[in-house]
Amino acid sequence: MKVVFLDSDSLPVSIARPAWITDWQDRPDTTPDQVVDAARDADAVITNKVRIGRAELEQLPNLRFICVAATGYDCIDLAACRDFAVTVCNVPAYSAQSVAESVIASIFALHRQLFVYQAAALRDWPDSRHFCVHRTPIQDVQGSVLGIVGRGGIGLATARLASALGMQLLFAEHRGVVPVRKGYQSFETVVAQSDVISLHCPLTERTRHLIGAPELAQMKPGALLINTARGPLVDEAAVLNALDSGRLGGAALDVLCQEPPPADHPLLNSRHANLIVTPHVAWASQSSLQRLADGILGNLQGYHSGNLINLVS
């Protein structure tokens, strides 16, 4: 059995290779035009973010199994995989705790104005007439309202941590859907009433630019936006405009529309102290990385034995 990992550098831990895999190839990364040559004659491929679509599958007649080294699988054309009888599995829930902790850390950093006061300590504190320096108002996390968009494993893990901190929780119904399910609030209500909105939904055509200029205008003045899901869920230009105007109290973005982004990306070059941009690493705690590696191996073993797990398509 031949297995090719198309972007192995995205997973900085090793995967135990079972003896029944006779040919295992790790590729640090694979560009779109290299996919067919890289996966030629492979029985199975592992991909984190390298896209595999109909054009590639048409040229890979031996390919029978794709393991997505992630929970999200929007890099795979599932309809084409069904047409070509290619099985697709993912690794669900492995990063829920890591991403949830990243969300909570971002809420603390933005509500407590950590970057503002780190700068104030260097610039203003030595010459202060008092023992402290007051700048941007600090907000308590306890008692604030967290709106969660997406009630999967990561959304629920975030809710558990937030609840323990005394935050009030609102779960958003799909935009425009009526009636609203029990335990949810309408999307519009969550946008309007939340002090913090955290996105945990998949990227689809319905959720693209889920948060844009209209939604940002409907949010509470000074509310926070956190996106650890997929970059295109938000309109980046609208977010930057809302930060510029002061309407948005802060944003923490672990994902962008283009990854990796160009060096001149406006969000990377913003001077806003209330903007946190991290390079898609909310998922990557050491324990999460190991769970992901174990999950990949489990999926491969399931395919080999005929007992598929984590089946997507």
Beta-carbon count within 10 A of 286 CB: 10
Catalytic status, residue 230? yes
Tell whether 31 and 135 lie within a shared domain. no
Q: Decide if 312 is inside a domain.
A: no
Tell whether 296 and 203 lie within a shared domain. no
Catalytic status, residue 259? yes
**pLDDT tens, residue order, the chain (313 aa):** 999 999 999 999 989 899 999 999 999 999 999 999 999 999 999 999 999 999 999 999 999 999 999 998 999 999 999 999 999 999 999 999 999 999 999 999 999 999 999 999 999 999 999 999 999 999 999 999 999 999 999 999 999 999 999 999 999 999 999 999 999 999 999 999 999 999 999 999 999 999 999 999 999 999 999 999 999 999 999 999 999 999 999 999 999 999 999 999 999 999 999 999 999 999 999 999 999 999 999 999 999 999 999 999 8
Annotated active-site residue in 112, 208, 265, 280: 280
Tell whether 248 and 132 lie within a shared domain. yes
Question: 25 exposed, middle or buried (CB, 10 Å; 0-12, 13-18, 19+)?
Answer: middle
Tell whether 21 and 160 lie within a shared domain. no
pTM for the whole thing? 0.91
User: For position 90, what pLDDT does the model report?
Assistant: 98
Tell whether 67 and 122 lie within a shared domain. no
Annotated active-site residue in 27, 111, 230, 291: 230
Tell whether 6 and 134 lie within a shared domain. no
Catalytic status, residue 280? yes
